[in-house]
A and B are shown apart, each in its own frame.
Chain A
């Protein structure tokens, strides 16, 4: 097995991402997203298990009443399906697909998994409060100069730097 290829120059990768975002603006009149697609999946799941419960919740209802009638037949869900394929293809051609756990070599897998899960909960919850994540708010709203998106972006960086000390053993 050959070694993985080096990552793309960050400025080139940024221009590539920026052009993808620009193409979404030009073709669709909207930007990119990620957490919205996950919300569609959660809303569809709740609706399958407990339809009455989902239908009585204004937030789930917003994600269930799509133009197509099917909560998963949504723009962001299709976009995220593409992200999975695009990420996989990129990993494949650069030989970076490998079953692994991202952590400092001295850190235990169990602790890493605990923080991955708990961090995921905070991330999911935070992105709902903010009405979007790094894709929908920071990138998309950032490029459109939305005030809320810039507030979100500054808050994310400030809080990640403020709490980095507590997770240093995981990453260093």
Chain B
């Protein structure tokens, strides 16, 4: 078998959209089950009260990362056909800093906001409106910041190519750091709940 299936032309664009819908259902389901429809729970991360955001996010990252590694090692998946977004260092750094303020101020991120909205959170609805306004604002000023937006391009750089390490070694290091992080997160929660 050859994966990614879509890249090998196993189905057309129309079918891809239906698949997108079902993948989305799984995504939304687990976000809600994790408790990410609640702004109080999400914000708890930033007061060391509840480190669920960190635990869920890094478990998801290492699960998908290990899955990709093994499927590619078994020859089932061609890793070079999985799209890596190109890096633009400075705009992504500044974007992340602004995003972080918005996250702790507003209580949600774009994906979790969707889950908040459908489970009846009124602040989630208002947050969603704000997000549309922010995106609209970006779109309107885009002609003036286009040069800066495309500055410091690094191409499709990954941690593997940056540190020049074997793929498996990099995966192992990230998994090890995540496991240490989970241990630390459990300890922190115990201390802060006393």
| A25 adjacent to B104 (CB under 8 Å) | no
Contact of B17 among A73, A94, A123, A170 (CB under 8 A): A73
Q: Is the CB of A137 within 8 A of B85?
A: yes
Q: What is the count of residue pairs linking A and B with beta-carbon distances less than 8 angstroms?
A: 523
The total of chain A residues at the interface (CB under 8 A) is 122
CB distance from B180 to the nearest CB of A (A): 15
Q: Is A82 an interface residue (CB 8 A)?
A: yes
B16 at the interface (CB under 8 A from A): yes
**A129 contact from B20, B83, B94, B105, Cβ within 8 A:** B94
Point out the residues of chain A lying under 8 angstroms from B26, CB to CB: 16, 19-20, 23, 82, 86
Quote the shortest CB–CB distance from B111 to chain A (angstroms). Answer: 4
Q: A121-B133, A144-B84, A151-B92 are in contact. Are A99 and B120 (CB under 8 A)?
A: yes
Q: How far is the CA of A80 from the CA of B54 in the complex (A)?
A: 22
Interface residues as binary, A12-47 with B (CB distance below 8 Å gives 1, 0 otherwise)? 011111111111111111111011001101110010
B32 to chain A, nearest CB (A): 4
Measured between C-beta atoms, what is the minimum distance from A18 to chain B in Å? 3
User: Does any Cβ of A come within 8 Å of B75's Cβ?
Assistant: no
Partner of B88, one of A118, A148, A168: A148
Complex interface: chain A residues within 8 A of B182 (CB): 11
Contact of A18 (CB < 8 Å), options: B63, B84, B87, B159: B63
Q: A29-B82, A86-B27, A127-B99 are in contact. Are A18 and B47 (CB under 8 A)?
A: no
Taking the closest CB of chain A, its distance from the CB of B84, in whole angstroms, is 5
